[in-house]
Structure 1
Amino acid sequence: MKKNQKKELHQKNNEELKQLIGKMNEELVKLKMEKQAGKLKNVRLLERKKHELAIVKTIFKEKELNL
Structure 2
Amino acid sequence: QKEGRSVRVVNARFIKPIDKKMMKDILGEGLPILTIEEAVLEGGFGSSILEFAQEQGVYHTPIDRMGIPD
Q: TM-score range by the shorter chain?
A: 0.3 to 0.5
What's the TM-score, normalizing by structure 2? 0.35
Higher strand share: 2
What's the TM-score, normalizing by structure 1? 0.36
Higher helix share: 1
- Larger relative contact order (CA 8 Å, sep ≥ 6): 1
